Amino acid sequence: MQREEFNALVEKAKENHPLWFELERDGPASDQEIAEAERLLGVELPDEYRSFLRDHGGGYFAFAFVFGVAATSDWFVVEKNRARASAFLAISDPGTGDVYGFCLKDEHCCSREISVLDHETNTIKEAAYADLYEMLVVHALQA
């Protein structure tokens, strides 16, 4: 899904369900915040995640929750990944124990596909969604 298509769906959801977007979240991220998070994580984030952070920030997003890059936030993606396996970068916690995120294609580059880290088996279920936008359409924008 393209950024423009995703943001059009978000605007429509905001028009139809404004309360979905009233929960606490960080403001849109700056390029500097994104670059610093990438430096601290030691990875290059996928374009969709960077664009989402620039457009919407981190925190509650309708029916989903997305980790952000504001260093002072409770949702700081760097802190949320301190104790996780190095082959997986968590970016969303649906509150089930499992987390959504990116597998690392190599030690410094994330895949754009969204995978699920199963909390019971500590295994990664790969390619649950083609990208962040697809995951958010399913989990955040559908009542």
Q: What is the spatial distance between Cα 66 and Cα 91, in angstroms, rounded to a whole number?
A: 6
Number of domains in the chain: 1
Instruction: Give the domain CATH number at 126.
Output: 3.40.1580.10
Range of the domain at 20: 3-139
Condensed to tens digits (0 to 9), the pLDDT of residues 110-136 reads: 999 999 999 899 889 877 899 999 999
pTM above 0.85, yes or no: yes
Condensed to tens digits (0 to 9), the pLDDT of residues 29-39 reads: 999 999 999 99
